Structure 1
Amino acid sequence: MSTGQLPPIESVSGGSHGVEAGYEQMLALAERYESQAADFVEMAGLGAKVMANGDLLESAILSPGSFADAEVQVLDATTGTDGLTVRAIGIEADALGVRAVVAAFKASDALSKHATEMIDNALGRMLLPAALASLPALLLAGGAGYAYYSTLSPAEQQALEKQLADDLGQLLHDHPELAQHLINGGGGLIQTLLPGIGLLDPADGPIDQATTNDAARLLSLLLGNSTDYQVNPLSDLPPGVGAESEVPGDLRTLIQQLDRTNQIDARDPNAQGAIQIQQVGDKYIVYIPGTDDMSPIPQDGEHARDMETNYQLIGGLDSAYGNGIKQAMLDAGLEGKDVMLVGHSQGGMVSTSLAADPSFTQHFNVEHVVTAGSPTAQVPHLPDGTHAIHFENRGDAVPLLDGEDNPDDPNRTTIKFDEGSSDIGGNHGLDHYANGAAAADASSNGSIQDEIDRMRDDGYLGSGASGPVVSYQVTR
């Protein structure tokens, strides 16, 4: 692929050059100011000690003029109008100013988030009353629409359905923020549907109202909130199926390896729920695919990668998939090892969730997380030693399901690129995310390149043959 064919990167947030990293650099500058001011104060105190020196005082008898001149010079340098004490006060004031600016910026960010959550919650509360108020008109329009639809030939009906789907997909591609705000109003909508149910309160968000995370938690509870799992090794995959035994050379290759794992169940329907673990030197990359069963209500009791797991992950709960991945890694002998988690869709959700879970990180040192097409904002923080790259394709609805932007943290870089179209399902494909990763490889953005360099330094990106790739199947 030539550079001219790479999809444009629309935005990069977080990482070493992000807003939060800038705040940290400003606070570090304030600390240096304060340290310098303390040094000046200490140096100013030496002036009094110098003037009280016995030998110096005795010399005053021999040369009173020289002593007086030295006294004036020392006092002027330490406590004078341009001395160390005054300079220390000025530097300390600068430090306080820097801290005040950072505090003001952070307060503004928090206020903006609070206001957005309040507005979105109110929007969710308004949806049901608005729909009920317009129900007669909707029924009338729907009846007229069905009457017209019924007069069309099967080919014309199919064309109309495709046109409607394309129009909806184009709307999502052109205005993804609309879908994000609607989803973020999920807590308000559920509160309206089920007033006083109590399962949504107390809310866990930045406002004293239910959030989308609360709504997802309720849905998972209604489905049973099962976390039972079963893990089996997969040792008889067809030749050429799954990740190759080559060290990923860059982000694009890493996503392509994930895609090969993702395609295992397409080649072998009995292998649904497959994950793969690749040894790279003395470290390991875990490839974690996404949802198999997209039915709102799971259709069987076997799939661990179903909508119940999605609800659990957005709601901040444990899941059968996450527990099964942990057990598979233990079975593979990864206790105490350095690992990278790479996930698509639900796989990225569970990767981010596990990396923030102390009960998981007590067994594994998660150095890196890479997600493709995953909602991950429901995980507010990752440990300082864990670095993440989140890829989001414009027009892909799945990354919007958390209802908000990812945290702008120094150790989390979110890359939004545009290789989308009106095909909502197609925009979620890993072929697009491999191209987005290639655009990141070619980017000069500081946050991106710092993360790539860190992955190389840590040994996850390189060249040549890797160690073995082992496969496991996670089911309920």
Structure 2
Amino acid sequence: MVTIDLTTPPPPPTSLLDGMARRLALTLPELRLVAELAGGAPLPFDVLPDADEASGAGSLSGRLGRGRGAVEDTAYSDALGTLHDPHDTLRRRGLLTDDGADPGVVGAVGLLATPRLALDIDVAAGTTQVKAWHRQTGHAVASLSTCDGIVFELAWFPVEQWTTELARVTAPPEDLPVGASQVPEVLDVPYALADAVGEALRSGRSDLVPVLVGQSGGPVVADGDELGDAEAAAAVSAVHAESRGRLRILAAEVSERATTSVGVVSWVLLKDGWHSLTPATTTVRASRSYGWTPTTWPPSSHPCWPRSPSERTRRREATPRSSRPPPLRSPVRQHRRDPDVSDLDIPRTHATDTPEEASASVAADKYDQMLALADLFDTSGNEMRTRARLGTEILGDDDVVDSGELSRATWGQAEEDIRATTTGKHGLLTRSVELDADALVVRATVLTYRWIDELQEAAYKTLGSIAGRAIGYLAPEVALGGAIVSAGLIETDTLDRDGVTAYLNELAENNPDLMDHLSGGGGLLDGLHMRSLLTAGVLASDQGAHAARGGLRAIGVEPFGTDAVSAFRDSAGSFVEASEPEPQVGTLTGAAPRSLEELMANLLAEDRKISVQRVGAGRYIAYLPGTLGHEPGRLRLVGADPTTSADHVIRAIEQAVTEDDARVMLVGSATGGTIAAEIAASASSERFVVDQVVTAGAPSAQVPRIPEATRVLSLEDRSDPVALLGSLINARTANRLTVVFDGGDAEGTPLYVAGAKAADVAEHPELRAEITRMQDLGYLVG
């Protein structure tokens, strides 16, 4: 992919430290004090009340003996008690003077409270768990991270460095060496199978794995080849057996309106490195990624920054939908009637319940009935096994054996029938195992839907409430750069910066390999752990692990398991069905646009509907705005596949096209641009063919394979994180051209109209050739 940069490049850093992110350690008391000095900035978490009250002498735990949670809470409280007064420590470090707190620190904390784009990151590998919050506005990003709830790393940096900072998150701990994996390079697995196999292995029922593979509603495909049952069982089991780390990112755009959709990225750490989990219509894809670096981030591109809750994560395939998480239905074998849970009687909720309470109550009732169904399967399976044993007892009975002498022919047939009925291939014993598998699938399904409910609630409490928490708060300006910097774990201030700068510059020249650790502190997992030990010595004691778990719980961070089952369920929210209205479609009249500027103006003039403009015989332009299908409602979890919306858009365009074999140029912004790329890549229509795609603020790296005959022109604002973390660094194909412009120069003109105008007058030969092609095809007037 060719990228044309129309922006003015930033001046190079004058020294090594100028090119580094500003990063420092703050204890919880210091962080809360800085937030207070920043005008009362709300932090991205709430600190729970002192847990000692819950474990006092008069409490239940105090009378019965302290449990694990009480021990951890006490260790956490003791650790906080060892910290010094935050006013004294901040003054001693030069972060607080009589004039107030350092402007860089204050601005970073203020940005945490008032972002445009928010990422909540959970990552665990080995024995280390980290919670991180990344917040972006304009050209600045602030991040806050902790592995114990006691010591935090606060960082702030230009948006151009964001990919480098995110790459730190996925660096595995040094005590987890990378080796060979039994998992194929690309593995397509029906979700229900991946989930059920994980539950089977976790419950010690590996004997059920072959049964689950045989029951699966879809094939297991490795690197494009369908696997046999034995190979499929081994490959799926390997994903769960090798899992030793897990990563989840929740991302949302924040505005004054309620956040209605949250993007979800889920990765799992196997023996050979990180693998991304991408939900699709019938599968969850586990594709290899060795780590996030500036050339591989992000794994799921644009939908991490959702523009519309209409983005569903489904891929259009001919495979039946039954391999998706069953809609409250047990996926038992087709030769037997499925026990349909929808037939069960669901108690009504009380008339005074709110809609949300009523919905939750109905869901809980249905979950309970599904679990009751699983118990029935278990009971039936146990009864079948009991009856299967009767075959052996009957055939071993002396009287029955003696009767064989009376008629050997009928005795032999009777013996064969009894063995077949009880312990044969299709006998009671085999059916009992199948019922065990059915029970496990039903329980796994309930666990998945409960998981989704809890993840939606957690996303709402964090990302969905950012705007509400910041009401009335006026954030200070973010001061990028400044005297404070952390070289690895070494903090500097104004007094010693010159000496440290000279030393680090000399070190960089002689030892360039060390600079990754100096600039980023190494990986986040190792770096945070070491920073905590250096900042709060109590965390290095025998009670340090207890204090860390108690500290994370005190700031609302629950234990984050490293198992693959949890990683799969993180991505499963995309499968939940939600009503999505068919997009509205209209028609435009008039001559074809004369320039990219007019093309963008036409696109932005459309609001929440598709417009199709006939520009010549058999030639059409379809405008896909970024707000397609946006309807308020319950917060939704979205992933990486926009193909359901693409299907709707195709039908809408077909209604507006009046000629068969028409040629179409798709023009889309944000979500509309992603859908346009998806249509060009894999969708098909009997009414039209896609010649050209033009996107604005929608990275085409979301859909990596677009036919060579179709050209893609992408307009991206340099300050737009969607562009920065998407198409500028992922797509590498010859039929794509990306034009990057500086949106700060718009001065009242709509952002992408200004960018298109800059592209119209640019002299770059490849851009001129792209515009000429559109003119030759009749989509632009020459």
Q: TM-score, normalised by structure 2?
A: 0.33
**1:436 is aligned to 2:755:** yes
**1:148 is aligned to 2:37:** yes
Within-5 A mapping of 1:23-62: none
Instruction: List gaps (5 residues or longer) in structure 2.
Output: 10-22, 42-105, 116-135, 142-155, 173-244, 249-265, 278-283, 305-312, 314-567
2:741 to 403, 408, 417: 417
Q: In the TM superposition, what is the alpha-carbon distance from 1:340 to its structure 2 partner?
A: 0.4
1:380 to 689, 693, 704: 704
* Letter of the 1:380 counterpart: P
* Letter of the 1:252 counterpart: E
* Letter of the 1:147 counterpart: E
Match of 2:693 in 1: 369
1:191 to 246, 254, 278: 246
Separation in 2, partners of 1:375, 1:419 = 16
Separation in 1, partners of 2:636, 2:668 = 16
1:35-93 C-alpha deviation (Å, 9 max, x unpaired): xxxxxxxxxxxxxxxxxxxxxxxxxxxxxxxxxxxxxxxxxxxxxxxxxxxxxxxxxxx
Cα distance change on mapping 1:386 and 1:214 into 2, 3 Å: closer
1:289 to 601, 607, 625: 625
Match of 1:257 in 2: 602
Tell me if the contact between 2:700 and 2:727 (Cα under 8 Å) persists in the aligned partners.
Answer: no
Instruction: List gaps (5 residues or longer) in structure 1.
Output: 1-6, 13-130, 153-158, 236-241, 265-272, 464-476
2:652 to 325, 328, 346: 328
**1:203 is aligned to 2:286:** yes
Separation in 1, partners of 2:751, 2:744 = 8
Match of 1:3 in 2: none
Separation in 2, partners of 1:260, 1:360 = 27
Within-5 A mapping of 1:272-351: 273-282=608-617, 283-291=619-627, 299-300=632-633, 308=637, 311-312=638-639, 315=640, 317-333=641-657, 336-351=661-676
* Letter of the 1:438 counterpart: K
**1:248 is aligned to 2:217:** no
Tell me if the contact between 1:182 and 1:403 (Cα under 8 Å) persists in the aligned partners.
Answer: no
Separation in 2, partners of 1:203, 1:402 = 20
Tell me if the contact between 2:34 and 2:109 (Cα under 8 Å) persists in the aligned partners.
Answer: no
Separation in 2, partners of 1:183, 1:243 = 43
RCO higher in structure (CA 8 A, sep ≥6): 1
Tell me if the contact between 2:170 and 2:291 (Cα under 8 Å) persists in the aligned partners.
Answer: no
Between Structure 1 and Structure 2, how many residues are aligned? Answer: 296
Q: In the TM superposition, what is the alpha-carbon distance from 1:276 to its structure 2 partner?
A: 0.8
Tell me if the contact between 1:176 and 1:395 (Cα under 8 Å) persists in the aligned partners.
Answer: yes
Cα distance change on mapping 1:243 and 1:179 into 2, 3 Å: farther
Cα distance change on mapping 1:227 and 1:412 into 2, 3 Å: farther
Separation in 2, partners of 1:403, 1:174 = 21
Match of 1:128 in 2: none
Match of 1:10 in 2: 7
- Which has the larger displacement, 372-381 or 397-406? 397-406
Specify the SS of the correspondent of 2:708: coil
Tell me if the contact between 1:390 and 1:415 (Cα under 8 Å) persists in the aligned partners.
Answer: yes
Separation in 2, partners of 1:342, 1:417 = 18
Q: In the TM superposition, what is the alpha-carbon distance from 1:307 to its structure 2 partner?
A: 6.9
Cα distance change on mapping 1:243 and 1:141 into 2, 3 Å: farther
1:186-205 C-alpha deviation (Å, 9 max, x unpaired): 87798245867998386325
Q: In the TM superposition, what is the alpha-carbon distance from 1:338 to its structure 2 partner?
A: 0.5
Match of 1:108 in 2: none
Tell me if the contact between 2:583 and 2:628 (Cα under 8 Å) persists in the aligned partners.
Answer: no
CA root-mean-square deviation: 4.5
Of Structure 1 and Structure 2, the greater helix share is in 1
Cα distance change on mapping 1:403 and 1:234 into 2, 3 Å: closer
Separation in 1, partners of 2:749, 2:671 = 13
Tell me if the contact between 2:696 and 2:716 (Cα under 8 Å) persists in the aligned partners.
Answer: yes
Of Structure 1 and Structure 2, the greater strand share is in 2
Q: TM-score, normalised by structure 1?
A: 0.51
Tell me if the contact between 2:697 and 2:715 (Cα under 8 Å) persists in the aligned partners.
Answer: yes
Specify the SS of the correspondent of 1:384: coil
Separation in 1, partners of 2:285, 2:582 = 35
Q: In the TM superposition, what is the alpha-carbon distance from 1:366 to its structure 2 partner?
A: 0.8
**1:224 is aligned to 2:567:** no
Match of 2:771 in 1: 452
Q: In the TM superposition, what is the alpha-carbon distance from 1:213 to its structure 2 partner?
A: 3.1
Match of 2:140 in 1: 171
Cα distance change on mapping 1:437 and 1:232 into 2, 3 Å: closer
